[in-house]
Copies of this chain bind each other. A is one copy, B any other.
Amino acid sequence: MSETRTRVITAFIVAPFVVACFVSYKSLIGLVSAVVLLASYELLSMSTSSDKNKYLIHVGVILNVAFVVLYGFSKAENGLLYLSLMFIASAIFLVIFVEEIPQVWNAVLGTILSLIYVAGCLSFFFPIYLKFGWANALLTLTAVWLYDTGAYFVGIKFGKTKISKKFSPNKSLEGIIGGFLSCLAFSIVYKAFFEWLFDAQVMPYASLPIFSAVVSVFDTFGDIFESALKRYFNKKDSGVVLPGHGGMLDRIDGLLFVTPVTYILLTYGIL
């Protein structure tokens, strides 16, 4: 089976479950917790090299998931506070239990990176959901999927102008344009359909091109940043959890940058 075919089949199996989690705020907390569990495990496995300290991966993952649950159930308030407390907890745990100093540094840094990059950034689905409604939250997720899909297929077929030889040699300008257009087309259909079917509130039509541009730019940077991290650790994929898609972190790397930026633009009335 070709990788593309595996990728499409996986997407069609997993996507409905993910979308269904947007039906309630509590199921969304469950979804984000599960994704952060897998992605932070992958990230911490990359950054914690020594076999002797494998248990530090689990401590870091627990702190990441604890952050998501606390932040989610406190209605997306006090995010910085919970993040700081998880960081302090990891620092105290490590100075008590870890013997070698380089391990303290690597393990704390891996945990911090994961807290802010994976758990923190993905948790912006909570305030989007609570303040701007489930329809805008689901649009943020699905628009990124459509962007990725458009960029992938257009990139394979027409990709010529490489944009990041250093970190991500497969990215092309043509792919980004294809991603932008499929994201925009999808957003328009999404808005028309969901407002008609559910009376849901989606950002105005005039905002959709800006939103699609934001998705294109920040998804691309998110992807390149994760590629840079993987190259540093000499990994091709962050994991194997999603056949044809690589690991969970590979799948959400763009989303991690898109979500906080979408939230701030919604907050300031730009979208």
Contacts and interface: CB of A to CB of B under 8 A. Distances in A.
Interface of A: 71, 78-81, 83-85, 87-88, 91-92, 94-95, 99, 101-102, 104-105, 108-109, 112-113, 115-117, 120-121, 123-124, 164, 166-167, 218, 221, 224-225, 228-229, 231-232, 257, 260-261, 263-264, 267
A100 to B, nearest CB: 9
Given A83-B116, A84-B116, A88-B261, 8 more contacts: A78-B267, A80-B120, A81-B267, A85-B261, A95-B167, A101-B166, A101-B232, A112-B116
Given A95-B167, A112-B113, A167-B101, A88 B260 contact: yes
A116 B102 contact: no
Contact of A105 (B91, B112, B164, B232): B232
B260 A228 contact: no
B167 A102 contact: no
27 contacts: A71-B80, A78-B267, A79-B80, A80-B120, A81-B260, A84-B121, A84-B260, A85-B261, A85-B264, A88-B218, A88-B221, A88-B257, A91-B225, A94-B225, A94-B228, A95-B164, A95-B166, A95-B167, A95-B228, A99-B166, A101-B166, A101-B232, A105-B229, A105-B232, A108-B113, A112-B113, A116-B116
Closest 6 CB pairs of A and B: A79-B80, A84-B260, A91-B225, A101-B232, A105-B232, A92-B221
Contacts of A231: 101
A241 to B, nearest CB: 23
A104 B229 CA distance: 8
B166 A102 contact: no
A261 B87 CA distance: 12
Contacts of A166: 95, 99, 101
B164 A81 contact: no
A225 B92 contact: yes
A7 to B, nearest CB: 25
B116 A87 contact: yes
